[in-house]
Amino acid sequence: MKKILKSSIGFMLLGLVGLTTITSCSEDFPGNVESDNFTDLKEIRIVNAGPAGDQVLEGEINELTKTIKFPQLDTLSDLQNVKFEAVLSDGAKLEKDVFALPYTTGETQKEVYLKVVNSPRFKEYKAIVRYNVVLRGINLETTEVYDYSLNPFGNPMYPSFATANTRGTGFDGNYVLVAERSGVGLHLLEVAKLKQNIVEPILLNTEGVTGGTFPYSMAAQINGHSYVANLSGPLKIYHWANPSDKPDVIANIALGDFGLTARHGDALSVDLDDNGNGFAYTMSGDGNIIRVKITNYKDGSDVTVIKPRINYEQWGHYSHIKGTEDYMISGHSQAPSLVNNAGSILYTLGANTLPRSISDIKIFTFNDQRYLLGITVPRNAPTTGADLKLYNITKGETIVDALTALDQSAVSGKNAPAEFSYNILTGVNINPGTQAGYHIVKDADGKDSKLMIYGATTTGGFAIIEFDAHINDL
């Protein structure tokens, strides 16, 4: 099975950095110091934990990484005077044994460097002090990656992405939908099998799928249902409840009937509830957006044209924020905006808050934390790659509050920090078929158990990343 742990990627990168450092800077290292004064750290503990200062927390020493982990520290401890006590080599001592580690709301841990000295020798350890607070959201230590992209650490890129024939994909946690214009054609891949490195395309019945520049081009996958749009001419949207069935035609739109001239079908956004009710959206280069109402997964009606104040072009996405009446609209050429279902803009992020060209923005809640997911579209410089990015935007009562806080976290001209990032393609591709998606797995009690995120791009392939929820048993 070719799956990648995020920690493994980190160690590989650190190893490369370390090798480069040794190779390029060896002349700067001091020579070995001959001495019998050892600096071994045998035991380490915090001796004044707890409200009364009478609790002892034993540290777990990792000599390989020179790190120390402690059990959770009660936030009612005297955090201005956290005292460390160690068992050391004869003659050695901690250079400093009392530290101020104040707790700030939202923090989960502090890191402090402990220096063992026995002149002329010394040794440093990174102590990780975790606060006794409830941890929410994703647990990055459990990250698993199932990669079929050009990222060199995973499987080879899935062959359907070798050319620009695949520009549209979908993901619902159980299946990946691939709209390959030639070759294999329109097909599904089962996620459970992909996790086992098994690739078995499930072909969709394309009987009656005709018309347009291409009869199928863009795709969306929701709750086991597949949706595909042609590249317009008239614009058609198809639906499959079962891949072997002849598809339902839920929209067949003559653009001229609505006064539209620019093509649609370069992107497809479909947002439905658990009953299959919601909307499909396609955009055009002149800023017009076609909205189609969907009922019971398969019935299309109420075709409407909306035009936001900002033109997000034909590769843009229009994504509903579940539990609200709001949407995120995003495209490779403009900063994302919060809008209502009629396209009226409620808030636009700063131009430098997120990476340029980030698109297919999704906002959702997982394990009591609010997240923003997006993927950069590698259409032109300065964006030179497709990177799937996940941001924690829990701060703030409303979505506007959260986006405002995200803007404020982008300081000194730098983008806001992402909680997780994964590269799918390095380079530029003028065919910007790029998608992001997510799926939340519930446990037997209905609680959030796992978060799966997905990213795909033309000539780059796709990747699925899975995180466990924090379960607060540290």
* CATH at residue 221: 2.120.10.30
SS3 193: helix
Q: What is the DSSP string of 135-188?
A: --SEEEEEEEEEEEES-TTSSPPPGGGSSTTEEEEEE-SSEEEEEESSTT-EEE
Residue 388 has what pLDDT? Answer: 98
Place of tokens 């929209």: 251
CA–chain centroid gap for 110, Å, is 24
DSSP string over 99-142: E-----TT--EEEEEEEEEETTEEEEEEEEEEBSS---SEEEEE
Instruction: Indicate if 105 and 187 belong to the same structural domain.
Output: no
Q: Which of 74, 103, 130 is the last residue of a domain?
A: 130
pLDDT for 254 equals 95
Same domain? 232 vs 164 = yes
Q: If you compute the radius of gyration of the chain from its CA atoms, what whole number of angstroms results?
A: 26
Co-location of 219 and 160 in the same domain = yes
Q: Are strands 461-469 and 67-69 parallel, antiparallel or unpaired?
A: unpaired
Kindly state whether residues 254 and 367 are assigned to the same domain.
yes
Q: Is residue 109 part of a domain?
A: yes
How far is 232 from 216, CA to CA, in rounded Å? 9
- Residue 317 is assigned to a structural domain of this protein: yes
Per the structure, how many domains does the chain have? 2
- Taking alpha carbons only, the member of 319, 310, 268, 311 closest to residue 290 is 268
Last residue of a domain, one of 130, 156, 185: 130
Closest residue by Cα to residue 4 from 162, 137, 142: 142
Domain boundary among 77, 110, 130: 130
125 with 195, same domain? no
Residue 199: inside a domain: yes
Residues 169 and 124 in one domain: no
Q: Closest Cα partner for 255 from 263, 245, 244, 265?
A: 263
The CA distance from 140 to 136, in Å, is 11
Q: Is residue 144 part of a domain?
A: yes
* 192 and 116 together in one domain: no
Q: What is the DSSP letter of 414?
A: P
Contact 361, 355 (CB under 8 A): no
CB 423 within 8 A of CB 457: no
- Are residues 107 and 161 located together in one domain of the fold? no
Residues 250 and 181 in one domain: yes
φ, ψ of residue 399 in degrees (nearest 5): -65, -40
* Together in a domain, 295 and 238: yes
Q: For residue 459, tell me if it sits in a domain.
A: yes
| CATH (domain of 101) | 2.60.40.2340
Bridge partners (DSSP) of residue 25 are: none
Within 13 A of 300's CA, how many CA atoms are on the CB side?
A: 21
- Report the candidate in 471, 472, 465, 451 with the shortest Cα–Cα distance to residue 366: 451
In this structure, is residue 175 part of a structural domain?
Answer: yes
Within this chain, do residues 125 and 220 fall inside the same structural domain, yes or no? no
pLDDT attached to residue 25: 46
Q: Which two tokens stand for residue 432?
A: 């910007």
Question: Are 140 and 240 contacting, i.e. CB atoms less than 8 angstroms apart?
Answer: no
**Do 109 and 216 sit in the same domain of this protein?**
no
Q: Is residue 395 part of a domain?
A: yes
Contact 378, 425 (CB under 8 A): yes
What does each of the 474 residues of the chain score in pLDDT, given as a tens digit?
445 544 344 433 333 334 344 344 444 544 555 667 899 999 999 999 999 999 999 999 999 999 999 999 999 999 999 999 999 999 999 999 999 999 987 678 899 999 999 999 999 999 999 898 888 899 998 999 999 999 998 899 999 999 999 999 999 999 999 999 999 999 999 999 999 999 999 999 999 999 999 999 999 999 999 999 999 889 999 999 999 999 999 999 999 999 999 999 999 999 999 999 999 999 999 999 999 999 999 999 999 999 999 999 999 999 999 999 999 999 999 999 999 988 999 999 999 999 989 999 999 999 999 999 999 999 877 778 999 999 999 999 999 999 999 999 998 889 999 999 999 999 888 888 999 999 999 999 999 999 999 999 999 999 999 999 998 654
| Structural domain includes residue 32 | no
Residue 71, preceding bond cis, omega within 30 degrees? no
Please enumerate in sequence order all residues whose Cβ is within 8 A of that of 92, keeping only pairs 6 or more positions apart, or say none: 37, 38, 39, 40, 116, 117, 118
In this prediction, residue 432 carries a pLDDT of: 83
Q: What domain range includes position 62?
A: 37-130
Residue 10: strand, helix, or coil: helix
